[in-house]
Chains A and B, each alone.
Chain A
Amino acid sequence: MKMEHYQQEVSQLHPGEDFEQRTISLLLRQKPVVRPIRRRWIAAAAAICAAAAALALWIGIPAAAPIHPPETSAAETNPPATAPAAETEVLQEVFTAKLRLSGPPNDEGWNWVYHLTPEEGGQEGYIEAVKGDKKFRFMTIFDVVEGVPDGEGGWDFPGKGLSLIRWRDDGAANEYVCGYDYPTYSIRTGCIGWSIQKHDGGFRLIEYRFGFIQENNETPPEENGENWPVAYGFTFSEQELAAVGIEVEEYARMTKDFLRYNKLDGIMR
């Protein structure tokens, strides 16, 4: 009986809405790249023949005894064990969660507002968390890079090692996409992440950073000669959060929602 219940409950587990379609789109965007194996084998065979001819000349075999190249190539007589392989271009990271940045707020009513320019955000831009009349600076924006068309329908972001190869354009709800850099994410060192925003007929990449709550309010370590709270100026203590009326747990859930939900809804490489 218990296992029947288990089976019923498991049968209710389904991926998110339109997951299949998103996955299919992702796979169709993988670009098969065919190595011309046959031509490579032919070229290799020709190179071997040429080398053999050169060697023959060097050791004194008369030129009247030419080394005839095979009428059929090595590839034809000894085809590779497997057929010519299509190699797919691997996407470095694939995030497909639903975007919520410019859509409805998270379950607790928090939303995020981008202040990109110095005019809007002072010396550095910032991302502001907003819930009713509560608001505070959630992240620091430290770089904004305009995308450059890559000629194949995608956009490169110079100096960032990222390209947008597909934008899932299904309305205003997807004004932004976001991602974050796993290796730089840490409860101690904070997070460096990025968003991509439609802008001026193209796209721009917005790089941001933020910190996390200090564990047990311990003094953060010196890292790379920089004091952590200074380097990542948005690392909050419980007291600082309380000053703006936010519970530690609420902040943590908000942060997690940002990371979980505000992930990429385009495809990057």
Chain B
Amino acid sequence: MKGVALIIQIGAEQHSHAHDETIQTAVAEYSAMLYRIAFHQLRSAADAEDAVQSTFVKWLERKAPFDSEDHQKAWLIRTVISRSRHLLDSAWFRRTVPLDTLPEDTAAPDPGNGVLDEVLRLPPKLRTAVYLYYYEGYKVKEISRILGVGEPTVQSRLRRAREKLKIELEDSL
């Protein structure tokens, strides 16, 4: 993956098979993770897919090379969160709240009724922290770097999420 930016920078004349393979590798490696992050933000399968594709388009446009695979992964995570927020802030979302509140949403599959469902009820920032910590296995320090916030903020988000999840799970039992 380290060759991604370099290959892209070579240009159209060498928009080569190697480039195609790089794209295929990146999509295969990261699309599921990015989808899960976007889904945590957007709670909609179709919107999460849009956010992931938008993220890959940004990735393709990026000119500066990545320092490492970890750097690239962190950049992709930040970008998919940003694209998801952008989508949430868009006129589309702001204006379609009445439809989104409808029961039995046939277009956006319900994620389920378990712990994930409880996590998805958290505020978006808490959801992301929970996902990165509990699913991706990132340390607080790493999450802090990825999200561009201080470590105390990450710790606070995780603490609040834990408190809220505990309460809501007890309520639902």
Tell me the A residues contacting B by CB distance below 8 Å.
2-3, 5-7, 9-10, 12-16, 19-20, 22-24, 26-28, 30-34, 82-88, 90-91, 94-97, 106-108, 182-183, 185-187, 215, 249, 252-253, 255-257, 259-261, 263
Contact = CB atoms under 8 A, between A and B. Distances in A.
A22 B28 CA distance: 12
Contact of A82 (B15, B27, B63, B103): B63
A15 B60 contact: no
B11 A27 contact: no
B107 A256 contact: yes
Contact of A86 (B8, B95, B103): B8
B42 to A, nearest CB: 12
Contacts of A84: 9, 11
Nearest to A7: B135
Contacts of A108: 106
B108 interface: yes
Contact of A10 (B15, B53, B60, B135): B135
Given A3-B134, A27-B57, A256-B105, A15 B49 contact: yes
B12 A15 contact: no
B134 A7 contact: yes
B29 to A, nearest CB: 10
B118 to A, nearest CB: 8
A260 B8 CA distance: 33
Q: Is the interface of B mostly helix, strand, loop or mixed?
A: helix
B107 A5 contact: no
Contact of A27 (B10, B60, B102, B106): B60
Contacts of B99: 187, 252, 255-256
Contacts of B130: 6
Interface in B99-124: 99, 102-108, 111-112, 114-116, 119
Given A9-B116, A10-B36, A27-B23, A20 B31 contact: yes
Question: Which of B54, B64, B135 lies at the interface centre, i.e. has the most chain A CB atoms within 10 A of its CB?
Answer: B135
A84 B112 CA distance: 48
B138 to A, nearest CB: 14
B145 to A, nearest CB: 22
Nearest to B134: A3
A9 B11 contact: no
Contacts of A185: 91-92, 95-96
A107 B104 CA distance: 11
